[in-house]
Structure 1
Amino acid sequence: MTGSTEAYERYRAPEFRRLLAAARRSLERNGGEVKGSIGLTNPTSAERNAVIGITGTYRSADVRRITIPLSAVEESVRNVAGMSLRDILERIGPELRLRADERTALDQARQKILAEGEASPLHAEHPWYRQWLADLASDGTITGLINKENTRLLSQAVRVLEFLNSRPSGSLPVMLPSLADATTGDTKALNPGRGSLPTLVLRALATARGMPLESGAEARRELWDAFDVIVDDLASRVLVLNLPATGQGLGQWLTDAARYGTPFHITLHQLITLPIAVSLPTVYVCENPAVLRRAAGELGTSSPPLICAEGRPSTAFHRLARLIVDDGGLLRYHGDFDWPGIAMTNALCTRYGAEPWRMSSGDYLNGVCADTEHVPLNGKVQDTPWDPNLAEIMTNEGRAVYEEAVADILLKDWHPYRIPHHGES
């Protein structure tokens, strides 16, 4: 009977199922070595009899747990079936996953993929690249890629970073599909929501800028744009009023719109393809389009140059703001008196040297008195370095004051105002 099909089949019976499962776990845990013991808790009568048959030792019917040396199971299987315990288990299936072997294979795969990343010229040239690789290795990202058999994604990410790093200074921005095609052969490989590759690349770009990778489509578009990669040049836009500029096409349109005091939406596509220069000493910035709408309706051409963040500044907003500041212009910003509005004020002050305007503790308290909505102040408290008392007063009051509630005061500051148009002194 040794080695016969009948002998093998007996181990597929229900009374051996839990026993062999425990034996499998032991072998996988110990790298295939037959050592230690396995046990059964609350064995059935059939399981108890099977163990008695294996060990030759009687076990009473009221026993709660049976412990068996794994070597006894191995010996019994060899005597009955002419096979090793491992042979029986793998014939029943699936193959054993020996943890020691898996760890070795995983370590080897990790070393290989990291060596490929370290072979890039970026590794010797840029500390941020080395930090990016180290972060991927330490937080389990590389292990995840190996387990999902997606290791090629790291080499693709490296190619994208090398491409961006090799572009000459002053090169025209590259569209995201063109970048993906040039580095992966797939125009959609870097699209949002297209798996791990875009996230791998964006993590590297965020590390290069010394900042965490933020969530949200606009934050990611802005990060791509910081490296002259355009995700969607039509969806990103910025609303302006009375912002004359020089330059073919867009510059002429903006100047004409300012002559009539009419609002104008600028797309990122226009800013890229129709370069402009904005030479104005001061440009006001508001957060809420309702404020710009009132300025257009009530002041018209008397309104100062105004751009609107429309909540969260877009990539187009940032590109326009940089144009203004690089030409010597000052941005004066007003936003909501809530913690996100304060955070945006801080961000614009840091990034562009913007000047908070009508954002003092006195302005806030006046707004609290005039505001009838009594909206509770929620979110993470932000510092107000331009007026250190403001954050404390806002916390004590516990109320938000939205920009549209104080629009009368803003418009009063702006009137009268007349911007000189191009060609005028």
Structure 2
Amino acid sequence: MRERADLGLVTHLTVQELRSVGTDAGTGIALAEPGRVLHACENPQVLQAAARAGSPMPLLCFAGNPAAAGWALLDQLVADRAEVRYHGDFDWPGMAIAARVIARGARPWRLAAADYTSAVASLPADGRLDLTGRPGPTPWAPDLAATMTRAGIVVHEEAVLAELLKDLQVKDPSTATG
């Protein structure tokens, strides 16, 4: 995986691979050292952009709602006491995914009401999509759901790609926006 990362290549993990390594497999090898910051996103385009940009920070991508391998990886990283920071789309399905990922131990990454408001303000008027669907709770940021409902605009991860990539370039992630 390190060799692939050094080449800027994306690596896909399987459930079988995750069951074969790591502390859960009885190898005694953690997938990440305690306190290690890893970022996670919803959209593969964010992962691809990070790889093209030569991001020095690890980035996990769940490609929407995590499948079995994504949940296994997240659970193992949380068990290893790594800090997984998650970002997803500012729409109701994205918020539902974020709620599930955060409930499993991830921390929000640029998922506050102020982040949403800033992102909406930066969208071009002709590029705005109406927020539809049933609002859901955002327990990590209780004012976020109300702010999204009031603004009524979808913000996909690609719209905030510059900010996400900037965080992924920080050598000391403790100084990056959480």
- Greater relative contact order, per chain length (Cα 8 Å cut-off, separation 6+): 2
The CA RMSD over aligned residues, in Å, is 1.7
Q: CA contact under 8 A between 2:64 and 2:97: conserved in structure 1?
A: no
Specify the alignment match of 2:86 in structure 1.
Answer: 333
Runs of 4+ in 1 over 6 A off after TM superposition: none
1:328 is displaced (CA, Å) by: 1.0
Cα distance between partner residues in 2 of 1:284 and 1:416: 12
- Is residue 384 of structure 1 aligned with residue 138 of structure 2? yes
1:380 is displaced (CA, Å) by: 1.5
Cα distance between partner residues in 1 of 2:133 and 2:164: 26
Unaligned runs of 5+ in 1: 1-253, 420-425
1:338 is displaced (CA, Å) by: 0.5
Q: CA contact under 8 A between 1:349 and 1:355: conserved in structure 2?
A: yes
Specify the alignment match of 1:271 in structure 2.
Answer: 18
- Is residue 359 of structure 1 aligned with residue 106 of structure 2? no
Q: How does 1:22-421 map to 2 (within 5 A)?
A: 254-272=1-19, 274-276=20-22, 277-280=30-33, 281-298=36-53, 300=54, 302-351=55-104, 353-372=105-124, 373-417=127-171
Q: CA contact under 8 A between 1:377 and 1:400: conserved in structure 2?
A: yes
- Normalising by structure 1, we get a TM-score of 0.37
Cα distance between partner residues in 2 of 1:386 and 1:406: 20
Q: CA contact under 8 A between 1:374 and 1:400: conserved in structure 2?
A: yes
Q: CA contact under 8 A between 1:296 and 1:303: conserved in structure 2?
A: no
Count of matched residue pairs: 162
Q: CA contact under 8 A between 2:56 and 2:169: conserved in structure 1?
A: yes
Equivalent residue letter for 2:64:
G
- Normalising by structure 2, we get a TM-score of 0.84
Identity of aligned residues (%): 40
1:270 is displaced (CA, Å) by: 2.4
Cα distance between partner residues in 2 of 1:284 and 1:292: 10
1:390 and 1:418, CA in 2 relative to 1: closer, same or farther beyond 3 A? closer
Equivalent residue letter for 2:167:
D
Q: Report Cα offsets for 1:82-108 as digits up to 9, x if no partner.
A: xxxxxxxxxxxxxxxxxxxxxxxxxxx
1:289 is displaced (CA, Å) by: 0.5
Please state whether the residue corresponding to 2:171 is helix, strand or coil.
coil
Q: CA contact under 8 A between 1:338 and 1:402: conserved in structure 2?
A: yes
Structure showing greater radius of gyration is: 1
Equivalent residue letter for 1:267:
T
Specify the alignment match of 1:204 in structure 2.
Answer: none
Please state whether the residue corresponding to 1:265 is helix, strand or coil.
coil
Unaligned runs of 5+ in 2: 23-29, 174-178
Equivalent residue letter for 2:141:
D
Please state whether the residue corresponding to 1:264 is helix, strand or coil.
coil
Please state whether the residue corresponding to 1:349 is helix, strand or coil.
helix
Q: CA contact under 8 A between 1:377 and 1:399: conserved in structure 2?
A: yes
Cα distance between partner residues in 2 of 1:339 and 1:398: 11
Equivalent residue letter for 1:297:
R
Question: Between Structure 1 and Structure 2, which shows a larger proportion of helix residues?
Answer: 1
Specify the alignment match of 1:62 in structure 2.
Answer: none
1:340 and 1:255, CA in 2 relative to 1: closer, same or farther beyond 3 A? same
Cα distance between partner residues in 2 of 1:266 and 1:418: 26
1:262 is displaced (CA, Å) by: 2.0
Q: Report Cα offsets for 1:209-232 as digits up to 9, x if no partner.
A: xxxxxxxxxxxxxxxxxxxxxxxx
